[in-house]
Amino acid sequence: MASVLVVEDEAFTALALVDELSDLGHTVRDAVDGEEAIGVLQTFSPDILVTDFMMPKMGGDGLIRYIRARACPKIPVVLISGLPEARLPADIGYDAYLGKPLDEGALAQIIDRLIAKYRV
């Protein structure tokens, strides 16, 4: 299984994601926004990042850009958002997109696919 960092500001969605991924056997840590996630990355090295796009303080786009430039440039990123993918900036650098409301089964498949791809 994988270690996953979930970054989501909506408490209900974050709890559902953490519970679902934990039930699947993943080690999961969470943060409420990009700034908190950067702090978590000081002590936790996830295999994959699942992040919301719109959050207070630092959104998913800022977090992904930070990670790609400094922290974990090769970590696979799943971007989740209520916005259609076509409305997101093209240069963010995520590996997969999943729209809200979330389909946890689809998220689990995406995580499995990305982990298999990057654990060569």
Find the domain containing 72 and state its range.
Answer: 3-118
Overall pTM > 0.85: yes
Model pLDDT, residue 71:
65
Residue 118: CB atoms within 10 Å: 14
How confident is the prediction along the chain (120 residues), in pLDDT tens digits per residue?
899 999 999 999 999 999 999 999 999 999 999 999 999 999 999 999 999 999 999 999 999 999 988 867 789 999 999 999 999 988 889 999 999 999 989 999 999 999 998 874
- Domains identified in the chain, total number: 1
CB of 42 closer than 8 Å to CB of 55 = no
Count CA atoms closer than 13 A to 97's CA, side-chain side.
Answer: 15
Model pLDDT, residue 6:
98
Q: How far apart are CA 112 and CA 63, in angstroms?
A: 22
CATH of the domain at 54: 3.40.50.2300
